[in-house]
Structure 1
Amino acid sequence: MSDPSRHPPAHYLVTWSVLGLIALAVAIFLVWPDNFTSPNSSVVSSQGPATTEPLVSTAASPAPTETFTPGLTLTPVVSLSVTPVTEVATPLSASATSHFDGTQAYQFVLEQLALGPRPVGSTAGWKTGDYIIRQLEEFGWEVSTQEFIYKGVKGRNIIGKGGSGPILILGAHYDTRPAADQDPDPAKRDEPILGANDGASGVAVLLELARVLDRSALKREVWLTFFDAEDRGQLDGWPFSVGAMEMARWLTRHPEAMVLVDMIGDADQQIYFEHNSHPKLAAAIWKVAKSLGYEEHFIPQFKYTIIDDHLPFAQRGIPAVDIIDFDYPYWHTIQDTADKVSTASLERVGHTLQVWLESLPAK
């Protein structure tokens, strides 16, 4: 049996019940707009736009150390596991909004050449970086830079980010060689090269991709990356790929893959597999090229082992591919000029990359 003295009077219960209901109604009214989303409201995905996490560490950057010997044949990078980036969605088709235009890409080549030779640390080199930044901003990409100093020379990497999902780096170097050390005329070997193919062609492909890529179709956060200080290697004690080493060293987010575009403008274009490239990732890109009718120019056979800007990323476990036509007789000579660059060659590479990027399935 219960004790009646322990129960409050009935009118107390009614009063407190009414007050409780009023308080509950007020709480629901205040909280509802901020904590509930209507069926028509947009929700940011966990793989949405890039976070504010910095591209590189804010700590003071030490001078890059050479992690490999220029000219050394390294063991091919073949043991990395296959990631979803090697898959290709079907059917393969270019963006419905815009098709990669080789003629426009060639215009980007000419605009770089108008600045003259563009070695790291030069006025023309810095102006080229400014030009790249303007183009990326005009095309609506989020731009960041990474400055560094090596042997007293200031360099700058430039990154344009777009899309959402796992990070995929698409790179090219924009500096040119300060001395034509491979020129057949010994009297000209101290002259700087213009770098129409070795430098400007890769940049042109990336800039045209910045213009035409359907970012709404991308299932990756694409970083269009322009490396400085690639082409001074074996001159004045410099290694190759200083800018790429600097970027790879200070990455704070692990990319899913890295694809390098270098020296692809040659009219007699033949692009082979490269031994330091991830074979399955390369095969996926070459498969797209074949589907577009470019199999005579993308040849799925290994030929060269090349030290290039992809290698610092491969050495850190990132699947990396070098798309390069190394059969170029004007390499590091003063004859590397605009007349050696083909609009059709630029378009084959750019179109292949556009279709590949826009066709990658979500991870």
Structure 2
Amino acid sequence: MNKLNPFPFVVHFWIALLPILFFTSCVGSTYNPEFERVVFDGARALELIQMQMAFGDRIPGSEAHAMVGDWIVQELQDHGWRVEEQFFPYREFQGRNIIGMGGPTEGEWVIFGTHYDTRPISDRDEDNPWTPVLGANDGGSGVAVLLELARVLQNEVLDRPVWLVFFDLEDSGGIDGMEWIVGSTFFVEHLQEHPSEAIIVDMVGDADQQLYYENNSDPFLMEEIWEVAAEMGYSSFIPIGKHSMLDDHIAFLRLGIPAIDIIDFDYPYWHTTQDTLDKVSAESLEQVGRTLQSWLLSN
């Protein structure tokens, strides 16, 4: 992600068309009379960040990047989500978006999205600008939140389709003329139908969490979710506009799809070698995850 600087976005690609709306759900399909709601666990989400970092630098084109993609697919399938993969070429890279689908096959549907790639250089690090970003928060936290949501939602009887989308090639913008948000732009441009809303989570694990309104986000959807957080007592959701971001939500907004970006951009370790596991916390991850779980199940 980056501070927003709107520009026309063109990606040349081979079309890998994604089936839309016609799928069989593996999540929330049967009623279980002994069902007891599973609650989002921040400690487990933190472990999911650690698992990602164990693969190494998740830079597009690297072995670690391919391995973490395979791992995401397996995690989704293990929790009963049907998985589609969407491949697309961009420059010398083979991009790969990963989509987990659950709930019924008809009705208004919602997307929760994040990026899973990490930045190849730490260009905001004065001492180590050419070292890859480790991506505990930027690249790791959003994936952890979505995968933990996959676990807690697997036994829910969802009343509408839910997609968990992991975007590729979000975070290499500005390097050798590369664009930002490549994967999400490809994804949105190939939707046959539009979701009712899209919620992007990015850099949400900061131990000193401050989640301000993002200025480009849909104000009504943003207010809904911040109100849920307030009802749950989470003061880190601050209902004041502060930053204007170029993040994956912009791809949806460009096509008129209501979308928001939940992001803590007051993170001093952004695009540095210090974006490490000790800078994120289970509590921060849990507050975001439980807010989204509560919002989804009450709407």
* Bucket of the pairwise TM-score, normalised by the shorter protein: 0.7 to 0.9
Question: What is the letter of the counterpart of residue 181 of structure 1?
Answer: D
Q: CA deviation at 1:71?
A: 4.3
Structure 1 residue 276 corresponds to structure 2 residue 207: no
Contact 2:99 2:166 (C-alpha < 8 Å) held by counterparts: yes
What residue is the counterpart of 1:180 in the other structure?
122
What residue is the counterpart of 1:209 in the other structure?
149
CA–CA separation in structure 2 for the residues paired with 1:196 and 1:220: 32
Closer, same or farther: CA 214–114 of 1 in aligned 2, 3 Å: closer
Contact 2:79 2:154 (C-alpha < 8 Å) held by counterparts: no
Closer, same or farther: CA 73–268 of 1 in aligned 2, 3 Å: farther
Contact 2:80 2:154 (C-alpha < 8 Å) held by counterparts: no
Structure 1 residue 166 corresponds to structure 2 residue 166: no
What residue is the counterpart of 2:63 in the other structure?
123
Structure 1 residue 136 corresponds to structure 2 residue 76: yes
What residue is the counterpart of 2:237 in the other structure?
298
Counterpart selection for 1:341 from 277, 280, 285: 280
Contact 1:70 1:240 (C-alpha < 8 Å) held by counterparts: no
What residue is the counterpart of 1:156 in the other structure?
96
Contact 1:245 1:312 (C-alpha < 8 Å) held by counterparts: yes
Structure 1 residue 260 corresponds to structure 2 residue 200: yes
CA–CA separation in structure 2 for the residues paired with 1:106 and 1:322: 21
Q: CA deviation at 1:218?
A: 2.2
Structure 1 residue 72 corresponds to structure 2 residue 9: no
SS of the residue 2:268 aligns to: coil
Closer, same or farther: CA 331–129 of 1 in aligned 2, 3 Å: same
Question: What is the letter of the counterpart of residue 237 of structure 2?
Answer: F
Question: What is the letter of the counterpart of residue 285 of structure 1?
Answer: I
Q: CA deviation at 1:127?
A: 0.6
Q: CA deviation at 1:215?
A: 5.4
CA–CA separation in structure 1 for the residues paired with 2:78 and 2:158: 19
Counterpart selection for 2:134 from 194, 208, 223: 194
Once the two structures are superposed, the pairs formed by residues 78-117 of structure 1 within 5 Å of their partners are 96-117=36-57
CA–CA separation in structure 1 for the residues paired with 2:154 and 2:99: 18
Contact 1:261 1:323 (C-alpha < 8 Å) held by counterparts: yes
Q: CA deviation at 1:184?
A: 2.8
Contact 2:95 2:183 (C-alpha < 8 Å) held by counterparts: yes
Deviations 1:6-60 (A, max 9, x none): xxxxxxxxxxxxxxxxxxxxxxxxxxxxxxxxxxxxxxxxxxxxxxxxxxxxxxx
Closer, same or farther: CA 135–214 of 1 in aligned 2, 3 Å: closer
Question: What is the letter of the counterpart of residue 352 of structure 1?
Answer: T
TM-score when normalising by structure 2: 0.87
Q: Which runs of 5+ in 1 are unaligned?
A: 1-68, 75-94
SS of the residue 1:198 aligns to: coil
CA–CA separation in structure 1 for the residues paired with 2:241 and 2:158: 30
Contact 1:159 1:223 (C-alpha < 8 Å) held by counterparts: yes
Counterpart selection for 1:354 from 272, 293, 296: 293
Question: What is the letter of the counterpart of residue 102 of structure 1?
Answer: G
CA–CA separation in structure 2 for the residues paired with 1:347 and 1:267: 11
Q: CA deviation at 1:155?
A: 1.1
CA–CA separation in structure 2 for the residues paired with 1:330 and 1:253: 38
Task: Compute the RMSD of aligned alpha carbons.
Answer: 1.5
The count of residues paired between Structure 1 and Structure 2 equals 269
CA–CA separation in structure 2 for the residues paired with 1:300 and 1:155: 35
CA–CA separation in structure 1 for the residues paired with 2:187 and 2:41: 30
Deviations 1:251-284 (A, max 9, x none): 1121100000000000110101111100000000
Q: Which runs of 5+ in 2 are unaligned?
A: 8-34
Q: CA deviation at 1:314?
A: 0.6
Q: Which has the higher helix share?
A: 1
Larger Rg belongs to: 1
Q: CA deviation at 1:201?
A: 0.3
CA–CA separation in structure 2 for the residues paired with 1:137 and 1:125: 19
Deviations 1:135-163 (A, max 9, x none): 00000001001001101211100000001
Q: CA deviation at 1:73?
A: 6.0
Q: CA deviation at 1:123?
A: 1.1
Counterpart selection for 2:168 from 228, 232, 238: 228
Contact 2:100 2:164 (C-alpha < 8 Å) held by counterparts: yes
